[in-house]
Structure 1
Amino acid sequence: MSKERRQAEIRDAATMRALSHPARIAVLDRLFSGEPATATELAEVCGLSPSATSYHLRALAKVGLIEEAPSRGDGRERVWQSQHRGLNVGTGPERGAAERAADRELAGMFIDIEDERARAWLARRDAEPYEWYVAASSAGVQLMVTAEEMAELNERVLALLEPYSRRTRQGVPEEARAVDVTYRVVPRS
């Protein structure tokens, strides 16, 4: 790809609503790897039929998150790709009610997906190699911070993760695996 791949900045309600389906997130996750795919190949990723997957592909293309890729051969199959490597989704309190509602719905879906991935790990971890079993972790820590300190903490933690990001990492070791890191910092009531 000729242009640099970057995160898609999602701030409008229409795009957030277009993303609010687990199959679409699964498709994007696969296409963000940089490898183009057909509806049939993506159907395996999201657990739908190729025709249902095509519907979701068209919806993602309509909001500019994916596009048709050059054909692999005779042109009978449509191949899809994304120029993006990830999503940066969010609105601020100054945005309209529609954007804030769409943001809440999408964030809730992401939390459900992240929780399901963690539960899937728990279900299969006994069958995993020892080094992966002991390396996996989950932690909860209650902090006492100001809003300014919380913002600084977020910057520092994300900077710590960045060198390992699929988006930016070069020279990935052969034994590396994709792992999910869920980081949430939310004030208690």
Structure 2
Amino acid sequence: MTDERAGLPRMTITDPQVMRALAHPARLAILDHLGSTDEPVTATGCAEVVGLSPSATSYHLRALAKAGMVEQAPSRGDARERLWRSAAQTWSINAGQDAAPETRAAEAALIEVFVARHLARVRDWLDRSGEVSKEWYDAAMMSDSTLLITAEELTELNTAVLALLEPYKRRRRSAGSAVEGARPVAAHYVMLPLD
């Protein structure tokens, strides 16, 4: 399926090799960075974001390209400069309920990296929350609720929440839609049956 706004596909990953390629914190950070801008970036530009050397970042970009998650962008005129961009607007993983053990293990490894990244972001917020403005401090939120809900209601709720987030995701993708005072915010959304 193609998103007409950005012209990039929405990707559902079912291949365990791709899942294993993504199961690295630096690669997820690179994908996050590339997904937040319409401008292609160099390995050096990504390195500044992920905290690695340009050569290490270049290695991760090549691994992501091999997995089909990033691609080389057209050069800005300097043939020595290699530019990269995201190959998908958004992506999700879905091994499937009946997936082979190898695929389930790859999915679990990738989810472990996601969970660790989420926890690191929460800890980072706790460390610096006293230094942010009152406006941002009051706007931030963490919530934990247990809902009594049917599978159909959960599907409807997920659809509604994702629809609410979509305009803000589009805003980050387009350089011309920046809003004064806007900053990146991590939105972690998980809905899982407890029993």
Q: TM-score, normalised by structure 2?
A: 0.87
User: Out of 12, 17, 20, which is 2:15 matched to?
Assistant: 12
- After TM superposition, give the deviation of residue 35 of structure 1 in Å: 1.8
User: Out of 169, 175, 182, which is 2:181 matched to?
Assistant: 175
The aligned residue for residue 99 of structure 2 is 95
User: Out of 49, 53, 61, which is 2:57 matched to?
Assistant: 53
Letter in 2 for 1:183: Y
- After TM superposition, give the deviation of residue 150 of structure 1 in Å: 2.1
% identical aligned pairs: 49
Letter in 1 for 2:19: M
Residues 163, 169 of structure 1: 8 Å contact kept: no
The aligned residue for residue 83 of structure 1 is 87
- After TM superposition, give the deviation of residue 8 of structure 1 in Å: 2.3
User: Out of 129, 132, 141, which is 1:128 matched to?
Assistant: 132
Residues 43, 58 of structure 2: 8 Å contact kept: yes
Cα deviation code 1:22-63 (max 9, x no counterpart): 111111111112221111111111111111111111111111
Change (3 A) 1:19 1:169: closer
The aligned residue for residue 3 of structure 2 is none
CA–CA distance in structure 1, aligned partners of residues 78 and 154 of structure 2 = 54
CA–CA distance in structure 2, aligned partners of residues 76 and 162 of structure 1 = 36
Residues 70, 86 of structure 2: 8 Å contact kept: yes
User: Out of 141, 161, 167, which is 2:165 matched to?
Assistant: 161
The aligned residue for residue 152 of structure 2 is 148
Q: Secondary structure at the match of 1:102?
A: helix
Gaps of 5+ in 2: 1-5
Q: Secondary structure at the match of 1:84?
A: coil
CA–CA distance in structure 2, aligned partners of residues 181 and 40 of structure 1 = 27
Q: TM-score, normalised by structure 1?
A: 0.90
The aligned residue for residue 123 of structure 2 is 119
RMSD: 2.1
Gaps of 5+ in 1: none
- After TM superposition, give the deviation of residue 160 of structure 1 in Å: 2.3
The count of aligned residue pairs is: 188
CA–CA distance in structure 2, aligned partners of residues 108 and 102 of structure 1 = 10
CA–CA distance in structure 2, aligned partners of residues 68 and 161 of structure 1 = 28
